[in-house]
Structure 1
């Protein structure tokens, strides 16, 4: 059985619960405050990871002098100066206002700037259900924003879409990812062919792959065959193109 613990921040004490036994370890005073903060940060992270384990594995990367915390490549929290901060979202506003949650600050051009992350306070550390709930809200909000950026972002950011392909799509009236997804590969391909009859079946497969988020070569054989059969119904002969 894994040991569980509660960190008593104000007294610099740790309570470990292990198979029913209780052991108390009191931190010795350290001149190097950074060492204390590093230990606290690590222990907090372990507690945080255990609480959020149903959401997936938490990964960390250095960022802004601290660390970003992510689940499945979506950043939803930060670690800075021994504290963990959750990403701000609309759904957590009432909690933040009620508890006067401090924001994560960083210096930019010598001036303090508040980032969109609020500190997990002591009350929240002691309430695992609320901690899980607010963390889940931050994660879901971050995922939604990430998806929105993908949908409304530059076409060139998609697989198979080169700068030249992006220009052709824009010229055909398809200006962003959201429009491409809405139209679909087939209608987008037809729009391209309205301006250039030389557009090949390879471009159709590239568009389908871009929408699916994969390289065109990774398209399933069935999907590839469907596209070719559909192209034939539009008067396009695969045999006419050898490239």
Structure 2
């Protein structure tokens, strides 16, 4: 995802090549509130100045797309530490190690649902947010930017597997 629309506003994805430029242009970063705490995402609001300069807007959009594609290529070719993936905290990384997942490739191979069930086997009270965080990490999205259809599918899986999930936790 190289751009997103939130509350009717277009945001371009920042990356190593264009993020500094976005800041210098005064573009506002998208703020997501998680439990009341503001989290700045790497997406930057397209303002009137850019809407009035379509060539410049297309150039920046292409920069965002190129950066996203480069990030995907880098992730697939090189193994990042799990905690460097979106949504994966140090504590979640340690739990993943405990269930035998130590690389991003292993996480992708297992998938979010299978990994979630493994995590539930060692830790009780894992919620839907962990499942969504895992899928976001696999796809390279912050959990707030996870596509609606993906979030909906995971929610349905979680509801349908709740008995299994609850019974697999110690």
Of 142, 145, 148, which aligns to 2:77?
Answer: 148
Relative to total residues, which structure has the larger helix share, 1 or 2?
Answer: 2
Secondary structure, in 3 states, of the residue corresponding to 1:161? coil
Are 2:110 and 1:183 aligned? yes
The CA RMSD measured in Å over matched residues stands at: 2.7
Secondary structure, in 3 states, of the residue corresponding to 1:197? coil
Aligned twin of 2:87: 160
Higher Cα Rg: structure 1 or 2? 1
Equivalents in 2 of 1:170, 1:222: separation in Å?
A: 29
Q: Which has the higher contact order (CA 8 A, sep 6+)?
A: 2
Q: TM-score scaled to structure 2, two decimals? A: 0.52
CA drift at 1:144: 6.0
CA drift at 1:208: 0.6
Aligned twin of 2:98: 171
Equivalents in 2 of 1:167, 1:210: separation in Å?
A: 15
Question: Relative to 1, partners in 2 of residues 1:213 and 1:236: Cα closer, same or farther, differing over 3 Å?
Answer: farther
Are 2:159 and 1:216 aligned? no
Q: Which runs of 5+ in 2 are unaligned?
A: 1-58, 60-65, 165-170
Question: Relative to 1, partners in 2 of residues 1:236 and 1:201: Cα closer, same or farther, differing over 3 Å?
Answer: farther
Aligned twin of 1:200: 127
Aligned twin of 1:8: none
Aligned twin of 1:26: none
Equivalents in 1 of 2:85, 2:74: separation in Å?
A: 17
Equivalents in 2 of 1:176, 1:226: separation in Å?
A: 25
Aligned twin of 2:45: none
CA drift at 1:73: 5.0
Aligned twin of 1:88: none
Q: Which runs of 5+ in 1 are unaligned?
A: 1-56, 58-71, 75-139, 238-243
Of 142, 147, 155, which aligns to 1:228?
Answer: 155
Question: Relative to 1, partners in 2 of residues 1:162 and 1:229: Cα closer, same or farther, differing over 3 Å?
Answer: same
CA drift at 1:222: 1.6
Post-superposition Cα deviations, 1:199-221, rounded to whole Å, max 9, x if no partner, equal 11100000011111011111122
Equivalents in 2 of 1:144, 1:168: separation in Å?
A: 26
The alignment covers a number of residue pairs equal to: 99
Question: Relative to 1, partners in 2 of residues 1:179 and 1:233: Cα closer, same or farther, differing over 3 Å?
Answer: same
CA drift at 1:147: 2.9
